[in-house]
Amino acid sequence: MQLSARELAQLLNGTVEGNPEVKVGRPSKIEEGGEGTISFLGNPKYEEYAYRTTASILLVSRDFEARQPVSATLVRVEDVYSAVAKLLEQFGNNNNEPVEISGHALIHEGATISDNVAVGPFSVIGAGAQVGSGCRIKAQVFIGKGVKLGKNVTVYPGARILDHCEIGNNCIIHANVVIGSDGFGFAPQEDGSYKKIAHVGKVIVEDNVEIGANTSIDRATMGATYIRKGVKLDNLIQIGHNVDIGENTVIAAQAGIAGSTRIGKSCRIGGQVGFVGHIEIADGTQIQAQSGIASAIDQPNQAFFGSPAIEYKNYIRSYAVFKKLPDLYRKINALEQKLKQQQDASNKDSSS
């Protein structure tokens, strides 16, 4: 796909500064560039690259003031990162892929496949499954019996959506995601063994959710595990049975959420954060990477850090002291030695 600076400006509601007819066919990093590519300057610390990039077009903010000549044609936009997201969607969309159902796919006769659906080779769609219009199911995907896919769902290779789970409209499920596996539930027995607890619930993923590669979402013991609309999950996340993740919450890689935890709306959770089970997290909570959440968070719009996590600013103050503890220990030890010497000398004087 080739787009001119003029066309890009129309697409992104921007203005052109330079040659409006220069064309690009792919995006590039600003430090790499390349003729026929478009790059962007969103972070001021990369400004030096703007003056030596070889990209043909450079996206910049409307208030960017160049301190040196820029060889690239500039397209000025209101919000660089939003413009980049829209641009990458244009370059990365798969609308040009053939819409076909592979002869190597296995689709149960009881499944319902809507119009404009693509199914890749060696994918399996079970009995009673419903696939909405515009869905793109890549190769080697498993969709179990009774599964419901809404409209315009993209499922990448190797993903597994197990029996009776539901996926809303406009969702993206990346490679090797597992939705609907059994939760980690076992009842201890008198002889020290564990009896498996059957999980007969499901997972409900609402509209506009994106789930990163190798993430696993367990089905509920009873009822449903919920991923509410607009949630964005990174790669390698574990979500336990009966968890409920609120609207527009984002979670970074390697986080783990134990069963029956409820996370509020618009939370931002860093990588490798761990949650104990059966707690509630208030709306708007922000949690720094590698924190451990061991109890409920009741107040909305608060930030936390540490394991067990405490209020973010308190953690930063505490850590500033913590780094000084070795020096403080040596100073205290030296003072104790000096005090002991003074006491010994005093005792010696008084005895003589």
Tens of pLDDT, residue by residue over 73-110, are: 999 999 999 999 888 877 766 555 679 999 999 999 99
The average pLDDT across 22-39 equals: 93
């008084």: which residue's tokens? 350
- What backbone phi and psi angles, to 5 degrees, belong to 243? -70, 150
Q: What is the β-pairing status of strands 73-77 and 15-17? A: antiparallel
- Rounded CA Rg of the chain: 28
Q: In a 10 Å sphere around its CB, with 0-12 CB exposed, 13-18 middle and 19+ buried, how is residue 170 labelled?
A: middle
CATH homologous superfamily for 159-307? Answer: Hexapeptide repeat proteins (2.160.10.10)
Catalytic (active site) residue 241: yes
pLDDT for 27 beyond 70: yes
The average pLDDT across 320-345 equals: 88
pLDDT for 18 beyond 90: yes
Instruction: Name which of 88-97, 184-193, 219-228 the model is least confident about.
Output: 88-97
The fold of 3-92 is: 3.40.1390
**Catalytic entry in 164, 174, 199, 241:** 241
């769609």: which residue's tokens? 125
Per-residue model confidence (pLDDT) at position 174: 98
pLDDT by residue (tens digit) across 33-74? 999 999 999 999 999 999 999 999 999 999 999 999 999 999
Contact status, residue 286 vs residue 268, Cβ threshold 8 Å: yes
Contact status, residue 4 vs residue 25, Cβ threshold 8 Å: no
Read off the tokens for 10. Answer: 């129309």
Span(s) in the chain for CATH 2.160.10.10: 159-307
Read off the tokens for 70. Answer: 């820029």
Per-residue model confidence (pLDDT) at position 340: 87
Span(s) in the chain for CATH 3.40.1390.10: 3-92
pTM equals: 0.81
The average pLDDT across 6-11 equals: 93
Per-residue model confidence (pLDDT) at position 139: 97
Average pLDDT, the chain: 94
C-alpha angle 64-70-75 in degrees, rounded to nearest 5: 55
Q: Could you give the CA distance from residue 352 to residue 53 in angstroms, rounded to a whole number?
A: 85
